[in-house]
A and B are shown apart, each in its own frame.
Chain A
Amino acid sequence: MGIFKQREREIFDLMASSSEVGGSSADYETMMSTSDVELLKRAWRNEKAAPEILQYEGALVERAKEQIELVEETIEDYVENGKDPLLVSLYQMDLDRTQFLLRSYLRVRLVKIEKFMFHNLKSEEAERRLSEQERVFATKCADDLVKHFEETVLLKLPENYQSVLKQSQISEVDDMVPQPHLDTFVVCRSNNFVSLNLYEEGESPETVEMERGDLYFIRYKIVKGAIESGQIDLI
């Protein structure tokens, strides 16, 4: 058929180990051959489990959108030409599944943006992780919220308490801004052998070592870097 531009192949060897006992679902040593759907699933899972917003996978989203549009057109084609309805419904199912992943991924990010609106706009690191549209959305949302608060409540309070970001003028930091709770515990699985520092700088340097395929309940802060580099997945 060759209609579809599959970016990566060799999916089956990777997934073949998944129905065996104790296997992990993709061989990350050959990560470049992982399918887009697998990558999207991983991004979706990580995003759902992480307390803060993660790096936006722009390229992946674009590719997924392209493939979805392609399949939608093909399905329309098939229906018009009276192709076997079984085939059509199977393609439709695959399409639905991919669409669900994409939509849920974007929605989870939106929920996090709304939750930590001011924090995301303040912190440069977080802002870098948003996509262009997300940034626009966050700014507009924040502006609206500030306006709303000011008009309904803040301007009616005594002068020292009118800021949206600070409890009062004497606060040294923006303490009205909710921040993501980075010390929360998450479940993760390692893809490689990895050794991590359990505590922060200056404290007792205990490490935890993870073999490939181990499951751990662990503090998010500890694994944050490893998630970004793809060595660890959140479950």
Chain B
Amino acid sequence: MAGQTDPHISLFSPQEVEFMAEDELVEIVPNMNMEQLNFISGDFGLFIPQIPTKVPLWLAVALKRRGKCSFRPPGWMSVDNLTQILEAERESQSTFQALPFSYVEIARLLFDHAHDDIPDKYMVRSLVEDIRDVRLHKLETNLGSFQGTSAVKISNVSAMEVNIVRPFVRRALEAFYKHDKPEADVGRDTRSSRQQREANNEPRRPLRQR
């Protein structure tokens, strides 16, 4: 079935997250001639040997796999930049460094299909993995410090990371909200609180409202 994931695990499957990331533009250097492509998603081309051009990631990977182009790794993927980011991530306990929203997916696809186009590929790969680890760890530890609010700001978290923590944070925040709310309900009549109780026919909750 086209894209029906179990929402209790996570909203989007990893493949769907990758799908969304594949529309990001990357730079490639074609090694052949090809006419302009008039896709539904946009016009790309012309393809002239040795002239760099920007195309969506999925198209770039497809061309690379057929040996028709080589990649120009994005600016943020240099050893220097990544080392800087890794240090900054390690230093700060509560903020995240600014990285492209789909950095995980982009890096993954590049490593899988175009590793020979990445200078110092082993270094870059290990840096990206370290950054991922540090950020995930930060996310996990920060989760313990949530309080009962209605809005939590998460800056610079990437798509994949959001998708991973989403189910847990959702349930945690909902539980907080539910427990904070009854204080405000005391003034309301019983009818609306009954309605609220019955309206909870969605995923089974271990905690029931009074």
Known: A22-B100, A217-B173. A6 touches B201 (CB 8 A): no
A222 engages B151 (CB within 8 Å): yes
Point out the residues of chain A lying under 8 angstroms from B56, CB to CB. Answer: 15
Are the C-beta atoms of B42 and A172 separated by less than 8 Å? no
Query: Bound state CA distance, A23 and B59, in angstroms?
Result: 21
Query: If the complex has contacts A1-B36, A19-B24, A178-B199, are A49 and B100 also in contact, measured as CB distance less than 8 A?
Result: no
- Chain B: CB-nearest residue to A15: B25
Most buried by A among B36, B41, B58, B195: B41
Cβ of B155 and Cβ of A215 under 8 Å apart?
yes
- In-complex Cβ contact of A86 among B19, B58, B66, B166 (8 A): B66
**1/0 contact string of B75-103 vs chain A (CB within 8 Å):** 11000000000000000000000111100
**Chain B residue nearest in CB terms to A64:** B40
Closest-CB distance, A153 to chain B (whole angstroms): 18
Q: Tally A residues with Cβ within 8 Å of B.
A: 71
Measured in the bound complex, the distance between the Cα atoms of B178 and A108 in whole Å is 27
A12 in contact (CB, < 8 A): yes
Whether A48 lies near B151 (C-beta < 8 A) is no
Do B174 and A97 touch across chains, with their CB atoms under 8 A apart?
A: no
Q: Which of A33-41, A127-135, A140-148 contacts B (4 or more CB under 8 A)?
A: A33-41
- The answer on a CB contact under 8 Å between A179 and B199 is yes
Task: Specify which of B22, B68, B169 is in contact with A185 (CB 8 Å cutoff).
Answer: B169
Contact of A36 (CB < 8 Å), options: B3, B12, B25, B40: B40
Is B186 part of the binding interface, using a Cβ–Cβ cutoff of 8 Å?
Answer: no
List residues 159-210 of chain B with CB under 8 A from any CB of chain A: 159, 162, 166, 169-170, 173-174, 177-178, 184, 191, 194-195, 198-202
> Could you tell me if B100 and A23 are in contact, using CB atoms closer than 8 angstroms?
yes
Cβ-defined partner of B159 (8 Å) among A175, A186, A235: A235
A49 vs B12: C-alpha distance when bound (angstroms): 9
* Pair A97/B41 contact, Cβ less than 8 Å: yes
A120 within 8 A of B: no
Chain B positions within 8 Å of A187 at CB level: 154, 162, 166
The A-contacting residues of B in range 1-46, CB under 8 angstroms, are 1-4, 11-12, 19-20, 22-26, 34-43
A41-B23 contact in complex given A183-B174, A198-B151, C-beta closer than 8 Å = yes
Instruction: State whether B173 touches A185 (Cβ < 8 A).
Output: yes
Is B136 at the interface (CB under 8 A from chain A)? no
Contacts of A149 in B (CB 8 A): none
Q: How far is the CB of A41 from chain B (nearest CB, A)?
A: 7
Q: A41-B20, A185-B174 are in contact. Are A21 and B194 (CB under 8 A)?
A: no
Within 8 A of B (CB), among A79-98: 86-87, 89-91, 93-95, 97-98
- For window 100-117 of B, CB contacts with A under 8 Å fall at 100-101, 106
Q: Once the chains are docked, how many angstroms separate the CA of A114 from the CA of B3? A: 17
Cβ B151 vs Cβ A208 within 8 A: yes
A192 near B: Cβ within 8 Å?
Answer: no
Chain B residues with CB under 8 A of A172: 191
Give the contact stretch, choosing among A54-62, A99-107, A155-163: A99-107
Q: Given known contacts A12-B42, A16-B54, is B150 in contact with A21 (CB within 8 Å)?
A: no
Task: Give 19 A-B contacts (CB < 8 Å), ordered by A residue.
Answer: A4-B38, A12-B42, A18-B100, A21-B98, A36-B40, A38-B41, A71-B40, A89-B62, A91-B37, A94-B59, A95-B40, A97-B58, A98-B40, A175-B195, A179-B198, A181-B202, A184-B170, A184-B174, A214-B153
With A35-B42, A219-B151 given, name 8 new contacts (CB 8 A).
Answer: A4-B40, A21-B98, A21-B100, A91-B39, A100-B3, A178-B202, A181-B202, A184-B174
9 nearest A-B residue pairs (beta carbon): A178-B201, A104-B3, A175-B198, A37-B41, A94-B39, A22-B98, A179-B199, A103-B2, A217-B152
